[in-house]
């Protein structure tokens, strides 16, 4: 029997401690406070905005900007800490693997599953958007109310002859530059290489590096803990600012679009529950009950990175996933598994195409799916990043990115919902990989599922 010291397995004590704190936030109804903040933000923004006009537009904009300060601080804090958190979590998760062969099998399966399910999610989004056609209700609005210009830059798909250079570019020649520029996919690849190297080393040589990463993870989790206190105020301020700028009447007109995205997300949730039932034999209602706390927190924070500790704890304690799998899949999934975001991008693309009167052919739809899959991989697991990715998708298929101004007002609500679906995908993947991987080490015995 192998001794525990024979393997450089590091259990996430700081993650577990913070996960208890995050679970306490759920017990303290953080999600309810966020919803209250959301409603109050809509009311305050309506009173200050053009719909009611209690104050001058310039004054309302000024007040809205100050109300959004806690929200901007929350976003900046999460964005600041997500890179060191992903580095520490991915490397330590890889180092918890038993051997290189197990790591190779797990990595290929996880990556392939993420890519396939992201493609499925984008396809569902295109189908739902085409069937419900929410943009037809606002046809003609683009010419009268949407601002001209390109608010953000996009990126085109690389040509075939450029693919070798593009693939080589995924390897960070200077990891520090990748961190400064926020190139998340390069950062993940760098972390994977370091983690594999640590697995290949003797345990006593790898231990100092893992101890350092353990301390880094504790620092990151402490900062995340501070940021969580701002969540209700953040949502209140951001919603107040958006409603002040756009007006409540315009947001009401987006109801069909919101319902279309929510319908697509519910279909994607059904696909996940079907995976759990057919491949694992895990009852859907039991899965929802076991993962309820982390899904509520993901909904409240709009950040899969912020709830990463509670996701790992839920996977291990409730779903019966071993640490070597949960500590690898969850951080990796927080970076490259953006299924809810991909579905949202597909629906938004169809919606804005309908608003602008642009006909999306089969080639354009296939390109939307490919772009949604490619752009979601490596995007930061932080609130609001879906809008940036959406601009790239829109420009690729010839839709003016200025249309984003139309959907910005409801993006906060949808961001909360799609983040919960993203986290659901991470948990489902963990459980599937647990079933499809090899036997446990003796010290990794975990419960096979706890319905409590």
Count of domains forming the chain: 1
Cα-based distances in Å from 289 to 111, 268, 300, 435: 27, 18, 17, 20
The per-residue pLDDT for range 22-52, each reduced to its tens digit, is: 556 555 566 677 778 878 888 888 888 776 7
| Confidence class for position 204, pLDDT limits 50, 70, 90 | confident
Domain annotation covers residue 3: no
DSSP 383: T
Give one DSSP letter per residue of 239-274, joined into a string: HHHHHHHH-HHHHHTTHHHHHHHHHHHHHHHHHHHH
Least confident of 97-111, 213-227, 265-279, 437-451: 437-451
- Do the domain assignments include residue 448? no
Residues 330 and 322: their CA atoms lie apart, in Å, by 12
- Domain region containing 374: 13-441
Percent with pLDDT over 70 in the chain: 70
2 part of a folded domain:
no
pLDDT for residue 5: 42
Whether pLDDT at 193 is above 70: yes
Q: Is residue 289 part of a domain?
A: yes
Q: Above 90 in pLDDT, residue 307?
A: no
Q: What is the mean pLDDT of residues 144-166?
A: 49
Q: Report the largest interatomic distance among the alpha carbons of the chain, rounded to a whole angstrom.
A: 75
Tell me, what's the pLDDT at 343? Answer: 92
**Cβ atoms 241, 67 nearer than 8 A:** yes
Q: Quick check: is 5 in a domain?
A: no
203, part of any domain: yes
Q: What's the token pair of residue 26? A: 């759920």
Q: What is the CATH number of the domain that holds 416?
A: 1.10.3860.10
Q: Is residue 449 assigned to a domain?
A: no
- Whether residue 54 is contained in a domain is answered as yes
Mean pLDDT of the chain: 75
Q: What is the pLDDT of residue 143?
A: 47
Please give the pLDDT value at position 402.
Answer: 61
Considering only 341-345, 349-353, 447-451, which range has the smallest mean pLDDT?
Answer: 447-451
């Amino acid at each position: 029997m192998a001794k525990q010291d024979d393997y450089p397995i590091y259990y996430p004590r700081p993650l577990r401690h913070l996960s208890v704190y995050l679970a306490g936030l759920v017990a303290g109804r953080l999600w309810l406070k966020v919803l209250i903040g959301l409603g109050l933000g809509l009311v305050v923004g309506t009173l200050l905005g053009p719909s009611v006009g209690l104050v001058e537009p310039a004054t309302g904009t000024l007040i809205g900007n100050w109300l959004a300060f806690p929200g901007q601080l929350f976003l900046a804090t999460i964005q600041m800490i997500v890179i060191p958190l992903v580095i520490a979590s991915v490397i330590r998760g890889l180092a918890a693997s038993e051997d290189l062969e197990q790591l190779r099998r797990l990595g290929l399966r996880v990556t392939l599953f993420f890519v396939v399910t992201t493609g499925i999610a984008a396809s569902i989004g295109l189908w739902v958007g085409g069937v419900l056609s929410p943009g037809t209700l606002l046809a003609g609005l683009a010419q009268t109310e949407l601002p001209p210009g390109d608010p953000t830059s996009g990126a085109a798909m690389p040509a075939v002859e450029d693919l070798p250079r593009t693939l080589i570019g995924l390897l960070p020649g200077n990891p520090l530059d990748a961190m400064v520029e926020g190139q998340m996919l390069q950062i993940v690849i760098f972390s994977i290489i370091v983690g594999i190297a640590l697995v290949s080393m003797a345990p006593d040589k790898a231990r100092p590096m893992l101890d350092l990463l353990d301390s880094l993870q504790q620092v990151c989790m402490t900062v995340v803990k501070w940021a969580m206190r701002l969540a209700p105020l953040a949502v209140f301020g951001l919603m107040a600012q958006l409603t002040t700028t756009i007006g409540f009447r315009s947001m009401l007109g987006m109801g069909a679009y919101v319902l279309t995205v929510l319908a697509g997300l519910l279909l994607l949730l059904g696909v996940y529950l079907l995976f759990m039932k057919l491949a694992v034999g895990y009852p859907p209602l039991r899965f929802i009950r076991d993962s309820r706390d982390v899904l509520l927190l993901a909904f409240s924070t709009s950040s899969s990175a912020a709830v990463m500790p509670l996701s790992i704890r839920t996977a291990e304690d409730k779903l019966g996933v071993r640490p070597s799998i949960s500590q690898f899949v969850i951080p990796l999934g927080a970076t490259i598994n953006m299924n809810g975001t991909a579905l949202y991008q597909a629906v938004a693309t169809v919606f804005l195409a309908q608003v602008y009167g642009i006909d999306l052919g089969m080639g354009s739809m296939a390109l939307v799916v490919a772009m949604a899959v490619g752009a979601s991989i490596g995007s930061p697991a932080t609130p609001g990043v879906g809008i940036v990715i959406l601009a790239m998708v829109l420009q690729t298929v010839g839709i003016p990115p200025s249309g984003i101004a139309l959907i910005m007002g409801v993006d906060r609500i949808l961001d909360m919902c799609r983040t919960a679906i993203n986290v659901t995908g991470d948990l489902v993947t963990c459980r599937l990989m647990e079933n499809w991987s090899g036997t446990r080490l003796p010290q990794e015995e975990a419960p096979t599922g706890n319905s409590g």
